[in-house]
A and B are shown apart, each in its own frame.
Chain A
């Protein structure tokens, strides 16, 4: 388990044993016969100003984790301790909705789909200005000024304020979404796949923008994505999730070069690299399919696909433990495995 870190070192968010189960209802009376363990005992923390990348394949629980933190989904159990701007520590997991409202200024979300997450009947002024209005900025001129400032900030021309979303490209819409998220000076921004719907040439622009904004406002990002290359570009630390659990968490460079969990190794091996000279065609591929979170395997959830699995992996559930300073992994064989990451030797790699 990750030790509880005192708030003095700039921790803004601490997630402890977060669990979210979605009940499965079957039969005549729709009785609950089981649960999809979407998030299964997840713990991590976030320091002010850092970016934590949350990666994993679809259904691994990364999106549900982020939704729990923003209380878009009510967690089943666990704590989500958030340190507010005025220094209080609140447990977001159990806060009544009424008391969540002031917190929503400090925690904002950027969505994946820039096409459906903006109301097409609202002008930019209304979209970006809405959170301002909701939180009490009723003076229209004042609001207009702030919206113009925000649009400039994300690289859009304030003159476009009266236009509607359909007049903008995907990248521009994602900028609008970012401007909206920033309107209330948030401290924590949860970005769920913010660039995966964008064209390659525009992705880079948006990633750069997010990094610039972070620097300027000391924003803290929880960056949820399936694309490891994007995550590497923006994250200080990375957490890898598999079937609802964090299996590895480490500094970005370390996780990519020296992974300690076989799943992380497999993920890294599977990422296609834009260099035909690498000849990665003969690399080892992960077999089979992601386990069903409604009926996960015994022991380590990864063992049916793990090339290194032993008897202990089939029976005992491994615990996420610190294997070197700041590097957590949940694998029975963490001490005796030599895993391969991305090795960079003069532009060449394994």
Chain B
């Protein structure tokens, strides 16, 4: 076990998630590894089909049918149990068993994209919040209500006694997402998985929500796994970043390295192609050629090869690049420009 692994609150090792369908198997995750440190934010970035949402659900063991974990480990290392305790492999748990249910919503909480549809429209906000609290904590209904309102206060929802008895559609998008976050932190999770938490929100509300998450993290020393396609959000929030493409991590490292010394051609292309308010005005954007392949048409070798400007014939289409650290640093990349097909590290000339 490496040093990062032993200190991680969560360690995902070579995780594979498959969706068998009538037309074939969709490899939503094809050997992903990542680590989350306590109290830090790991940004997981990628475009549609890269499997970033699948990771969050696989960790909580709530994959949609017919998805199943077919390989790898998810090691949960409860920070409160001390360094001597052995991590729990979540893939070995029964998805609906009592251990997994205690972790879900208790130790690991989830916030996701649609604050509108994430609440049942026919139950009050308070009903759903209290439910989460009484489920994991030894509290009476009255205590749960009190705690719910305190949480609402904490996340900036005005007038909690009124909101407690309201329904989700009576709240604005921003307030709904605040309520979702209040519910997620209600049982003091050590890891919050935020899956596109601000994608459906306006930019000023997004800024408020990100600010709230940052504040809560500081206060509760909670790790956050922030899943998003928005590189701006990642840049503002993350300590570490994982870039994903078609079910694999192609690059990872400290946020500054990823944004200023990206090594993988996909990470570089992604960073160049996003429009920026800093741009000097109306101009053409560099763009990544082609489009994301259909899940049934995964290219051989490196899956990014058909769109890659640095494609090396005979290498990239034949071998699968390994995901290895660069020169002993914290940055990892999976690309033949940086590693030889044998897996031995090559001296990189791209710095």
Contacts and interface: CB of A to CB of B under 8 A. Distances in A.
A251 B173 CA distance: 31
Interface string B246-271: 00000000011001100000000111
Most buried by A among B172, B211, B235, B260: B235
A172 B284 contact: no
B230 interface: yes
Contacts of A274: 231-232, 234-235, 259, 271, 274, 276
A276 B255 contact: yes
A340 B125 CA distance: 39
A203 B232 contact: no
Nearest to A232: B277
Contact of B47 (A58, A200, A232): A200
Interface residues of A, number: 55
Interface of B: 47-48, 172-175, 202-208, 210-211, 214, 229-236, 238, 255-256, 259-260, 269-271, 273-288, 291-292, 294
A289 interface: yes
A342 B275 contact: no
A166 B278 CA distance: 36
Contact of A272 (B233, B287, B288): B233
A270 B233 CA distance: 11
Contacts of A290: 172, 202
A151 to B, nearest CB: 16
A51 B270 CA distance: 26
Interface string A263-298: 000111111111111101101011101100000000
Given A201-B270, A233-B285, A289-B175, A281 B275 contact: no
A242 to B, nearest CB: 11
Nearest to B293: A169
Contacts of A256: 277
B285 A200 contact: no
A85 to B, nearest CB: 26
A273 B285 contact: no
A204 B286 contact: yes
A171 interface: yes
Contact of B287 (A201, A227, A230, A252): A201
B243 to A, nearest CB: 12
A203 B273 contact: yes
A345 to B, nearest CB: 10
Given A271-B203, A289-B172, A252 B278 contact: no
Contacts of B285: 204, 207-208, 233
Contact of B274 (A57, A172, A200, A281): A200
28 contacts: A51-B282, A57-B202, A57-B204, A199-B292, A200-B270, A200-B274, A203-B275, A204-B287, A226-B203, A232-B276, A233-B275, A236-B282, A266-B204, A270-B204, A271-B232, A272-B236, A274-B271, A274-B276, A276-B256, A278-B235, A280-B236, A283-B207, A285-B204, A286-B207, A287-B208, A289-B172, A289-B174, A342-B277
A53 to B, nearest CB: 10
Contact of B204 (A235, A277, A286, A349): A286
Rank and list the top 5 A-B pairs by shortest CB-CB distance, nearest first: A272-B232, A204-B287, A57-B202, A270-B207, A204-B273
Nearest to B172: A289
Given A205-B287, A232-B277, 13 more contacts: A57-B202, A58-B202, A171-B291, A201-B291, A253-B281, A270-B204, A273-B232, A274-B235, A275-B235, A277-B256, A277-B260, A286-B204, A289-B205
Nearest to B239: A276
Interface of A: 51, 57-58, 169-172, 199-205, 207-208, 211, 226-230, 232-236, 252-253, 256, 266-278, 280-281, 283, 285-287, 289-290, 342, 344, 347, 349
Contacts of B274: 200, 203-204, 229, 274
A200 B208 CA distance: 23
Given A233-B285, A273-B235, A289-B172, A202 B202 contact: no
Given A203-B273, A233-B275, A281 B236 contact: yes
B159 to A, nearest CB: 13
Contacts of B207: 269-270, 272, 283, 285-286
Most buried by A among B206, B230, B236, B255: B236
A290 B175 CA distance: 12
A98 to B, nearest CB: 39
Given A232-B279, A253-B281, A281-B214, A276 B259 contact: yes
Contacts of B210: 272
A201 B211 contact: no
A91 to B, nearest CB: 31
Most buried by B among A199, A205, A274, A280: A274
Contacts of B48: 170, 199
B270 to A, nearest CB: 6
Contacts of A203: 273-275
Contacts of A172: 291
Given A271-B203, A285-B211, A252 B281 contact: yes
A347 B232 CA distance: 15
Contacts of A236: 282
Most buried by B among A169, A171, A278: A169
Nearest to A344: B278
Nearest to B174: A289
Contact of B282 (A199, A252, A273, A349): A252
Contacts of A228: 203, 277
Contact of A204 (B229, B275, B280, B282): B275
Contacts of B211: 285
A233 B208 CA distance: 25
B288 A229 contact: no
B53 to A, nearest CB: 14
Contacts of A278: 235
Contacts of A252: 281-282
A344 B236 contact: no
Nearest to A282: B211
Nearest to B171: A289
Most buried by A among B203, B231, B282, B291: B203
Contacts of A283: 207
Contacts of B202: 57-58, 226, 290
